[in-house]
Amino acid sequence: PTATDNSGSNLTLTVVSTVTNTAGHCGSTFDATRTWQAADACGNTNTCSQTVTVIDTTAPVINCAASPNKTIQLGSTWTFDLPTASDNSGSNVTLTVLNTVTNTTGHCGSTFDATRTWQAADACGNTNTCSQTVSGIDTTAPVINCAASPNKTIQLGTAWTFDLPTATDNSGSNVTLTVLTTVTNTAGHCGSTFDATRTWQATDGCGNTNTCSQTVSVMDATTLVINCAENFTKTVQSGSAWIFDSPTATDNHGSNITLTVVSTVTNLVGHCGSTFDATRTWQAADACGNARTCSQTVTVIDTAPPTVSIISPTNGAVFIAPANFTVLADARDSDGTIAKIDYFSSTNLLGAADNGEPYFIVLTNVPTGKYSIVAVATDNCGLMGTSAPVNITVIARPQLTVITAMHYNPQTDFFEERVRITNPTYSSFDAVRVYVLNLTNTPAIAVHNLSGLTNNVSYVQTHTAVPPGSYVDMTIEFYSPLRITPNPVLQPELVKPADSLTAPTGVAQHINRAWLLGNRTFVVEFPTLSNRVYSIQYGPDLANWKAAFPAVTGTGNWVQWIDNGEPKTESAPAAQPARFYRVLLLP
């Protein structure tokens, strides 16, 4: 400091004290205070002080030149390199990591770049930063190891696969394995043997690749297997369709095996009927010439009895005594061989048929009664089968039913009775005759439209056959002088048809009138001469005529003749589409 005094003389300056203070200061900063004393010659003094404050506003120096950016191979061990730092204070500098940023954008696989930023700070809070960037690259091919799947040899037919290799990469991430090629070589190999080579490629995320291969050699040292399971024998029922069952054959090569029939032997010895046993032997051969054989025996037996059914007559058939009919049976056997068929009624043997198909017997003069007939078929192995019974009935005569009771017809002055004769059999009736019995003689009652007499018994008869299952209706006319109602007994019988009569010739007569009655009969009215005979004729046209029965004897008056079908004409007039009539006076 400077000092003056009133004396004008020199002053003496002395340092009283120097005090350094670090309290409240950062780092190496401080303040220092010095006090001086000025003294004059007379011993008068005075003091003054100066304080110097030392501060630190200079950032420390951090040096990343010692840890420059660097590139490392992916998978290599690495670290960031610590920078150096110094400060003007001469004291230690604190280094801290501000951040570490890893960037994978634009990088392949697991490659990246990582940047670490450090901060150097002195005791007074002055800071400075620097950074280092490490780039991880991948130019190293992955390691693919086929040593874990070396070349191998396997037996043909054995299931196998290529063994997947192992692969690793310096990236530590997954490696993609792809099959580049699979080459199968059959040249120089027999049958289905071969060798196959597969080449794999390992690719990492940056496209670095490596390859390795495995070869599998498939050889055939095992003979084929032909399978005749369950001794390959079976039993079948005679008559059943059957075939030999082809054996199964396998081979380790898995390809087709050639099966050939070596022999087929049929043996009939000791067998009945059509039974037998047959043995077939097969050989199986593979492509490498290995061969084996097996056999199958099929034994055809007959344990099924024949089946038989009576096809004629049918159940419920009716015959007229004395009946003559054929009993016909149909028989089947599994082996197709029927030895004979016996026919029974109850326990009575009716006959046997051993003459082959058709199997039948003829029964003659069978009396009235009910019969249950069965057929027993025997095959060549002695097995027997029985048919269902067929029940038939033999009746004494055709069935007759009165369909219109006896009544008086004032138009004709005759009593009339209409009857129906039914044919319940399966044979046609050639003709049916109905005898009219029990007519009184006092006064005499006569059948007016009789067809004839047998032993003075009147009868009416059909003109045509009666087919099976059908019927014919006939109107019987009675002349009763005193109009006493007749009480006849009607007895139908089968007869042979009468010889057809040629319509007689005569002189055509005038028909006064003709008309259809309400009951569908037809009336022809004409004049007559007493005791002259008139033939009334009918037909489908004007050229073909038939004579109605019986002829009419004239009375000298008008006669009304009614066509009511059988027995006068062969059918009712209403059943025909057209019918013409004429009347002839016979000579």
pLDDT in tens, 168-190: 888 777 888 999 999 999 898 88
pLDDT exceeds cutoff 90 at 48: yes
Residue type, 40: D
Averaged pLDDT for residues 475-500 = 89
Task: Band the pLDDT of 31: cuts 50, 70, 90.
Answer: very high
The per-type count for the chain, helices as H runs and strands as E runs, is: 0, 46
Least confident window among 25-29, 454-458, 536-540, 541-545: 25-29
Per residue in 235-260, pLDDT tens? 888 778 889 888 888 876 666 788 88
pLDDT at 573 over 60: yes
Confidence tier at 267 by pLDDT (50, 70, 90): very high
Distance CA 250, CA 375 (A): 54
Over range 372-390, report the average pLDDT: 93
What pLDDT is attached to residue 248?
Answer: 83
Q: How would residue 307 be classed by pLDDT, with cut points 50, 70 and 90?
A: very high
pLDDT value at 15 more than 80: yes
Predicted local confidence at residue 500, as pLDDT = 58
Lowest mean pLDDT among 46-55, 143-152, 441-450, 504-513: 143-152
Q: Using CA atoms, how far apart are residues 272 and 379, in angstroms rounded to an integer?
A: 10
Which of 585, 523, 519, 587 shows the shortest CA–CA distance to 559?
523
**Is the pLDDT assigned to residue 367 strictly greater than 70?**
yes
Does residue 231 have a pLDDT over 70? no
**Residue 375 tokens, joined:** 């057929």
Distance of CA 139 to the CA centre of its chain: 64
Chain centroid to CA 394: how far?
54
Is the separation of the CB atoms in 68 and 132 below 8 Å? yes
Whole-number pLDDT of residue 449: 92
Q: What mean pLDDT do residues 369-398 have?
A: 93
Encoded amino acid at 116, one letter: R
Structure token pair of residue 78: 């690495």
Residue 427 has a pLDDT of 86
The pLDDT-based confidence of 148 (bands split at 50, 70, 90) is: low
Q: State which amino acid sits at residue 563.
A: D
Question: Averaged over 15-26, what is the pLDDT?
Answer: 91
Cis (ω within 30 of 0) for the bond into 497?
A: no
Tell me the per-residue pLDDT of 496-506, one tens digit each, with 9 for 90 and over.
887 655 788 99
Cα–Cα distance, 441 to 429 (Å, whole number): 33
Residue 149: pLDDT over 70: no
